[in-house]
Amino acid sequence: MATINPYLNFNGNCEEAFNFYKSIFGGEFATIMRFKETPSNVQMPRDPSEDNLIMHVALPVGKGNLLMGSDRTKSMPASEPTDAFSVSITADSEAEARRIYDALSKGGDVKMPFEKSFWGSLFGMFMDKYGIQWMVSYSEQPTSQQA
């Protein structure tokens, strides 16, 4: 079975965002690499002021999942917040779902408050303070589509 892991792009604040996510999900970064760590035989156009930006970061979340990301350098097109995708989290308990929802949505823009939905699950949607769309859910009855 293939594995799908969200990969988020930032305009210079990837490290700040991922430290925020780490404070919520816990654990340690599986990988964190800066642009200055690019091997000398790899040509990547960038301004020397961008050396400390994040080239790649991976944060384990849950069972076998990675939340990954990077900064965009000036030579790359800027990333724009979009509603074309959301990172969906299905928690193992109501308490965990509420904790994650409350922490991630702080300072963001709530689209749907975390409450019982018409389909029976607890569910909420928001854009976090970094422009990333999230959906958080918890269902007492497991479904085959939960991930």
What is the per-residue pLDDT for 89? 94
Q: Which CATH number do you get for residue 27?
A: 3.30.720
- For residue 12, being part of any structural domain is answered with yes
- What gap in Å lies between CA 80 and CA 106, rounded to an integer? 20
**CATH number of the domain enclosing 99:** 3.30.720.110
Instruction: Flag whether 123 is in a domain.
Output: yes
Report how many domains make up the chain: 2
Q: For a pLDDT cut of 90, what percent of the chain falls above it?
A: 65
Q: What percent of the chain has pLDDT over 70?
A: 92
Q: Which of 71, 95, 123 represents a domain boundary (last residue)? A: 71
pLDDT digits (tens, 9 = 90+) for 71-119: 988 888 777 767 678 999 999 999 999 999 999 999 999 999 999 998 8
pLDDT of res. 147 = 47
* Residue 81 falls inside a structural domain: no
Identify the domain containing residue 63 by its residue range: 7-71
Does one domain contain both 17 and 66?
yes
Which of 36, 71, 106 terminates a domain? The answer is: 71
54 pLDDT band, cuts 50/70/90, is: very high
Flag whether 51 is in a domain. Answer: yes
Whole-number pLDDT of residue 143: 52
Tokens of 3: 């594995």
Q: In what order do the strands lie in the sheet with 31-34?
A: 7-10, 65-71, 54-61, 31-34
